[in-house]
Amino acid sequence: MQKIFNLACGSFYALGAYVGVSAVGWYVGAGGPPALFIVPLAVAGLAVGAVGVVVERGLLRFVYDRDETFQLLMTFAVVLMMEDAIRLTWGTAPRSTGGLYLAYGQVRILGATAPVYNLIVIAASLAIALAIGWLLTRTAFGRIIRATADNRDMAEALGVDMRRVYAKVFTLGTALGTLGGALVIPATAAMSEMGIELIVEAFAVVVIGGLGSMRGAFVGALAVGILRSIAISVYPELEMLLIYLIVIAVLVVRPRGLFGGAEA
């Protein structure tokens, strides 16, 4: 909507992961029951999304009307600064939540063992996707967002306060990133460079799905995830290649992505 290409989304993801680890560490240290660790994890992940206001008001609003190159450079600078800030705060060693990942046990589905926590994360992702869909299509705020994305000048002429909308949307996006980082962390470990890893994959998802399309992002993410898994099972050498072959194919055949708008 903001017509900005934000590389720092990866950093928000990493930040959410680290804050999530710390929150869970504090919670367990304070004697909280392990079964409820997902509560402080999610709350901390959402709360740290507030950093979005700072980045949007403090930096991004100055480059909205500039060339994309400026935006890329500035958000890349944010990526590097955040990575070092994380290193200063949490140190260089990977951080994890220990064995809490298995706190909810495992279930057998179709002959395979799956940790219950993964199912919770999948359910949470679906809920978030549905909630965002509802927000965009069923609420007044959602209509304003879509109107602004469609035609910013017209929306502004009709009395929409752009600054507030931008700050809100960007903070919401940031909070989704930090929450995502926090939710994924019990299954893995937080590392300061995890943000950059994510940006590359997110780029593939967005190109396949279509820039600026929520449905596209959803389908693109599913496609990338499933294709990678299939590639690893069938022919592991193809894992990364396959994704980028599809990215190239999409760029050549349908440059606006599977669900992208005509002008994206």
Partner 1 sequence: MTRFSQATPDPLRPRGPRDNDTSRRQFLKLLSAGAGAAAATRLDGPPAQAQATGPVKLGVLTIRAGIAAPVGAAGLRATEWWAERVNKAGGILGRPVQLVVEEESNPKDTVERYRKLVLQDQVEVVLGGISTGVTLALGPVAEDLGTPWLSWDGTTQKGVEETMPNPKWTFKSVDNEVEAIVAGILTPKYFKGIKTVAGIGNDYSYGHDCWESYQAVLKRYIPDVKFVLELFPKLGVTDFTSHIAAIQQSKADLLMCSFWSGDATIIMKQAAAVGLFKTMKGVFTTAGGVHDSLKKEFTPEGLLLGYNTMYFDDPKASPLLKQFVHEYKAKYNEYPPYECDHAFFDAESYKVAVEKAAGAGKKWPEKAQVVKALEGLEIESLSGRRSWREDHVQMCNFYQGITTHKNAYDFVTISPIEIVSTKQAMKPAGSKLFDWINGWKV
Residues of the shown chain interacting with partner 1 in the complex, contacts defined by CB under 8 A = 80, 84, 87, 92-94, 96, 98-99, 101-102, 106, 112-115, 117-118, 184, 187-189, 191-194, 197, 228-229, 232-233, 236, 239-240
Between residues 167 and 196, which has the closer beta carbon with respect to partner 1? 196
Looking at the DSSP bridge assignments, the partners of residue 107 are: 114
CB of 182 to partner 1, least distance (A): 14
CB of 101 to partner 1, least distance (A): 6
CB neighbour list of residue 21: distance below 8 Å, 6 or more residues apart: 90, 95, 96, 97, 185, 190
Between residues 226 and 249, which has the closer beta carbon with respect to partner 1? 226
Between residues 19 and 155, which has the closer beta carbon with respect to partner 1? 19
CB of 194 to partner 1, least distance (A): 6
Q: How far is CA 57 from CA 41, 62, 68, 164, 170, in A?
A: 26, 8, 18, 10, 10
Between residues 237 and 263, which has the closer beta carbon with respect to partner 1? 237
Q: How far is CA 42 from CA 47, 120, 181, 195, 222, in A?
A: 8, 12, 10, 19, 22
* Cα–Cα–Cα angle for 99, 105, 107, rounded to 5 degrees: 140
CB of 169 to partner 1, least distance (A): 28
CB of 86 to partner 1, least distance (A): 11
Between residues 124 and 189, which has the closer beta carbon with respect to partner 1? 189
- Distance from C-alpha of 49 to C-alpha of 112, rounded to nearest angstrom: 35
**What are the residue ranges of helices labelled H in the chain?**
9-29, 38-47, 51-58, 68-90, 116-138, 140-150, 152-157, 162-184, 194-209, 214-234, 239-253
CB neighbour list of residue 119: distance below 8 Å, 6 or more residues apart: 107
CB of 151 to partner 1, least distance (A): 37
Between residues 112 and 252, which has the closer beta carbon with respect to partner 1? 112
